[in-house]
Structure 1
Amino acid sequence: MESLSLKRIAGLITANVGLRMRDTDLPHLAEVLRQRLKTCGCRDLDAYYELLVCDRASPAWRSQSMGLADASGLPPSEWHHLLTQLTINESYFFRDRNQFQLIAQRLLPEIIARKQQQHRAAADRGRPRLRIWSAGCSTGEELYSIAIALAELNFAWSEWDTLLIGTDISMKALTTAQLGLYGNWSFRQTDPTLQQKYFRPQRQLLRIREDIHQRVTFQYSNLVQAHDASTSTLLQEIDLILCRNVFIYFDDQAIAHTLTKFRHSLACEGYLITGHTELYGQDVGQFQLQVFPESLVYQRPLAAPSSAASPEQPKPAALGGQPSQMMRQPSARPLPQRSIPSPPLRSRSQLQSPPAKGQPIPSARSAMAAEAISEAAIATAKTSLFNKAYAQAIVQAQQLCTQDPNNFEAHVILARAYANTGQHHPAKDICKRALSLQPLNLDLHYLLAQIAEEEGDLDLAKEHLRRIIYIDNYEFQAYLDLASLYQQERRIDQVVKMERLALKTLNLLPEKTIVNPETGATVADWRQHLETKLAFNLPTSASPQSLPK
């Protein structure tokens, strides 16, 4: 009977807020409900279910749903207490470096220029409008990052009618966002120059600069439910919607419903950006896919998109004169890019092995020259890969593999280029060939784990990560990646176990070792983060978003 009551409440949660409640999530839900039963004084789960149903129509729910929680003077509804414990609210500034670079350097300038041109063409006496919505804004770092990006573009605030709005279902997260006060961990991907420029110390925290703080607004909103009249008025003609790392918690029906809502909210040619793999397998035919090296972007078209266009196989857009390039990242949580190890030098006997019949016998000098040419070609292919000229890198690496089937570096370059263009089958085949040359190579197992996650095969992704740990038990990042995969499955006990193992591994490494060259994060930084997280969040909270890129 208790199991049936638990599933009944799980269904009510999914129906009202879209949170996906799988069988693996039920133990965590049961633990949360046990705490809420004690607090509310409910005798059992059936009584708590009735409380939720009644609370759904309460004045507290309605006022807080309209963003009036503070003004109403009413105590928070039980739904808000429950959702605070079920949802994970952790974010940080300039999250996902590549996506944010795309937003700041390409999309925002394009939107601003287009809106200015439209305003002039309409001969409108008012100001041009800019509307940006962070849906599922958590504690507000994403929206403030957008405001900072606009400031860095010397955006003329006074000349525009601007709305930067963040919405979330967690009143606790929205309170933090409205305060604009953050600890050091929220700045783990932030350029120190920007941090000093836009934040002011306040005791042990940092406060967003007041002029930036005044540019944003935060409001309660449930993406699954219909907006109230005031919210619907605000969330119209949006130029850019950010909804990243939200859909991983939604069921398919809630995702489809929310996508339709987003399309209606977007202005023509407005953009939607999600996490890299969050819409995998979803019908996105109502949008036009724009392909960039950093990410796929969904755009509301001026006219209905052609049914002939396949959302699963978008036609890549050429950028900056480069060959057509794909843009789907292999993972929503990119693993660290490692340098490609140099292959061992071939022995003199190999260099001087007998040529094929009818071919001239090469001299030692000509063999050395051929080796130098090969190294130069590898360097060229690496440069193409680094510059995201994937089509070019594929051609160059294929030529090298044809010339020398045992060229390990060429295989790795080719596999990465295929993966970064969404061509998973050839990428996996190349990885297998390369592993036959170097079975213990960690890079290839990481890449295969990324591809498996992209394809939705989390069990296979976990298998590759376990192989990495077997090969090198000092690879603490693999434990954290496993924790992230278990988080997607809501297996909180396994998340905690993996984070403990990561911490145990870190304790074996020198404190000052830099483990993330981009941010300068050291073993000591990671150790402190995990110790704090495990101490305060056990057993009900763990977050893939807390893991540095």
Structure 2
Amino acid sequence: MNTEIISPRLREEFVSLIAQQTGIEIKSQNYGAMGDCIINRMRELNLPNPESYYELLASETSESEEEWQRFVCLITNKESYFFRDKGQFKLLRQVILPELIRNNQRIKTLRICSAGCSTGQEPYSVAILIRELIPDWEDWQVDIIGLDINRESLKQAQKALYNTWSFRQVEEEIKRRYFKNLGGYYQLNEEIKRLVRFRQFNLVRDEMPNAEMGLSDMDLIICRNVFIYFTETAIDKVVMKFYNTLRPNGYLITGHAELSNNQVKVFQTKIFPESVVYQRRGGKLPAASVSVSKTNTTTIQPKPQTFRFSTPQSPPPSPLVTMAIPPANSPKPIINPPPPITFVEEELLAEARRLIQQKSYYLAEKKLQTILRQSPHHYTATYLMAEINANLGRYDVARKWCHAAMSLDNLQVKPYLLLAQIEEEEGNIEEAKEALKRVIYLQPDHFMAYLSLANLYQNSGDMDRSKKLRNTALKILERMPKNHKIEELDDISVGDLLRQLQDISA
């Protein structure tokens, strides 16, 4: 790394300038990668020192504007693929888009924005869904706009030419129907391509709503895995832009757990098994509320991964921190009580929890590894390693840590709950059911397990069993204090959840 020639003071000024210009928050674990980008650009431009490069970026000149285009390409993550996040696309296909299509049947228009669209896979995936859902789609005015700050990504998006890695979650029938195989690369057909247009756009600095660009009265805004890179100030600003750009009853879909309750209080929050979504209401800015659809209930979703630099390439980027995997022969269950936790371990554990809360997963991982080197049978550290890996999308590794945690303390329910989420995300529904049944065996009053299991049976068509499980959850909730906040469900109260579940069962 070349960060030794960038002083700490100048480094902080770069971090502040990047946040101001783009909204992107550079985490401390990425300072080295940021420094490499700065030094590379400085040398490419034959500038004498990093201070000169900072002055160029900070100046309000055409040269600065052009250099930001190049610099942004280095600090943004361009990794994407078609139909990313099966659960959210299932929700789009079965609930959100059908509702919008019904609502707009008379005027036959549909306006959708993919914000932070990268190389175009997301808006094109939505276009394919619309083509599948609307029989007379050619009679509709469908306008899908993809926005991204990265000019190079948009150039690739406009070509609509992708390698096989972009299709790692796509059925062969979709590839056959909508793409032409060009020998290792796939070209999207023109009828889908025409539904999408792309614009370079800075979510933090550019005006929104923007009628001139067609960014107003949107039915749906999708902005996934973008806010995890942003500062809190930038998130607040962009969320309000989105609210004002949506038409009444329009939807905002983000990545899992990217927004806090306070940031979405102007929306109505709707909780589905696949994702939390946010709906704009007409009139005055409404207070936040939570609803559960008639056909869906609630579950907990994994959190998104933290920010990291990457270069464009086909395989996924390697993690910045080498991850230890629990040994194949997991520790045997502890018969005697575990040794007392030392003060140092308590401090490390508290710090790891704080870092996880801040989504600084790689730093949290290091803290936990320190604990596990000293105390290999530390249950909480082992479980948190599973949680971190699930948040980062490393499901195979997370699964192993889950089993290691179960071996250390087979009476704890958290590893089974997390394992159920992982199995469902991976499409292993029977394995997810078994994990949830284990939770219920260990903790018969765990209403979340009953609700999640009810949803799995409902999705597989077993409505009788689903109803029985949901009714059991209702009975458990009725015994709980009505003002108790449920942390896993964005602090919705027991009373509010109970009323909505009763509406579903009515």
TM-score range, shorter chain: 0.5 to 0.7
Instruction: Give the match's secondary structure for 1:303.
Output: coil
Structure 2: which amino acid aligns with 1:20?
Answer: E
2:306 is the counterpart of 1:326: no
Residue 208 of structure 1 is matched in structure 2 by 188
Aligned to 2:48: 43
Alignment of 1:378-457 (within 5 A): 453=356
- Report how many residues are paired: 351
Alignment pair present for 1:21 and 2:1: no
Alpha-carbon distance in structure 1 between the residues aligned to 2:197 and 2:189 = 14
**Is residue 83 from structure 1 mapped to residue 55 from structure 2 by the alignment?**
no
Measured in 1, the distance between the counterparts of 2:246 and 2:425 equals 38
Hey, what's the Cα distance between the residues in 1 that align with 2:164 and 2:427?
13
Q: Is structure 2 residue 167 aligned with structure 1 residue 190?
A: no
Counterpart CA distance in 1 for 2:92 and 2:45 is 44
Counterpart amino acid of residue 192 in structure 1: E
- Unpaired stretches in structure 2, ≥5 consecutive residues: 1-5, 306-332, 339-351, 378-383, 398-422, 429-506
Are the structure 2 counterparts of residues 182 and 470 from structure 1 closer, same or farther at C-alpha, using a change threshold of 3 Å?
farther
Question: Aligned to 1:137, what secondary structure does the other structure show?
Answer: coil
Distance in 1 (CA, whole Å) between partners of 2:121 and 2:386 is 23
Match of 2:139 in 1: 159
In the alignment, structure 1 residue 241 sits paired with structure 2 residue 209: no
SS in 2 for 1:268: strand
Residue equivalent to 1:537: none
**1:115 and 2:104 aligned:** yes
Structure 1, residues 364-385: CA drift from partner, whole Å, max 9, x if none? xxxxxxxxxxxxxxxxxxxxxx
1:268-283 mapped onto 2 (5 Å cutoff): 268-280=248-260, 282-283=262-263
| Residue from 62, 65, 68 that aligns with 1:58 | 62
SS at match of 1:116: coil
Gaps of 5+ in 1: 62-76, 120-127, 334-434, 441-448, 472-477, 488-494, 499-514, 521-549
- Cα deviation for residue 306 of structure 1 reads 4.5
CA distance in 1, matches of 2:386, 2:211: 38
The one-letter code of the counterpart of 2:62 is S
Pick which of 230-239 and 165-174 moved more.
230-239
Larger radius of gyration: 1
What secondary structure does 2:79 align onto?
Answer: coil
- Measured in 2, the distance between the counterparts of 1:295 and 1:273 equals 8
Task: State whether structure 2 residue 284 is matched by structure 1 residue 304.
Answer: yes
Structural mapping, 1:485-504, within 5 Å: none
The structural deviation recorded for 1:5 is 2.1
Query: Using the alignment, how far apart are the partners of 1:111 and 1:251 within structure 2?
Result: 31
Please state how far the C-alpha of 1:45 moved relative to its aligned partner. 1.7
Q: Where does residue 180 of structure 1 map in the other structure? A: 160
Bigger shift: residues 44-53 or 163-172: 44-53
1:339-362 Cα shifts (integer Å, max 9, x gaps): xxxxxxxxxxxxxxxxxxxxxxxx
Matched, 1:97 2:86: yes
**1:205 Cα offset (Å):** 0.6
> Partner letter of residue 273 of structure 1?
I
C-alpha distance in 2 between matches for 1:437 and 1:140: 54
Per-residue CA shift, 1:269-291, capped at 9, x if unaligned?
A: 11000011110354211111112
Q: CA RMSD in A?
A: 4.0
1:132/1:163 contact within 8 Å kept: yes
Aligned mates of 1:149, 1:12 — CA distance in 2: 39
Superposed CA offset, 1:211-269 (max 9, x none): 11111111100000023897754110011100000011100000000001101111111
Measure, in 1, the Cα distance between the counterparts of 2:337 and 2:120.
44
CA contact (8 A) 1:330 1:450 kept: no
Q: TM-score, normalised by structure 2?
A: 0.61
CA contact (8 A) 2:86 2:425 kept: no
Structure 1 counterpart of 2:283, one-letter code: A
- Judged with a 3 Å threshold, the aligned counterparts in structure 2 of structure 1 residues 225 and 464 are, in CA distance, closer, same or farther, namely same
> Is the CA contact 1:286–1:304 (under 8 Å) kept in the aligned structure 2?
no
2:109 equivalent to 1:129 = yes
- Decide whether aligned partners of structure 1 residues 481 and 326 sit closer, same or farther in structure 2, where only a CA change above 3 A counts: closer
Q: CA deviation at 1:155?
A: 4.5
In structure 2, relative to structure 1, the CA distance for the partners of 1:281 and 1:36 (3 Å cut) is: farther
- 1:281-318 Cα deviation digits (max 9, x unpaired): 542111111121111111111233554xxx4xx54414
What is aligned with 1:67? none
Asked if residue 3 in structure 1 is aligned to residue 8 in structure 2, the reply is yes
Contact conserved, 1:330 with 1:451, CA < 8 A, in 2? no
**Is this contact kept in 2: 1:221–1:227, CA < 8 A?**
no
The one of 213, 218, 221 equivalent to 2:201 is 221
Identity fraction in percent: 33
Q: Which amino acid aligns with 2:265?
A: G
Task: Give 1:456 shift.
Answer: 5.1
Shift, 1:101, TM fit: 0.3
TM-aligned CA distance change 1:79 to 1:60, over 3 Å: closer
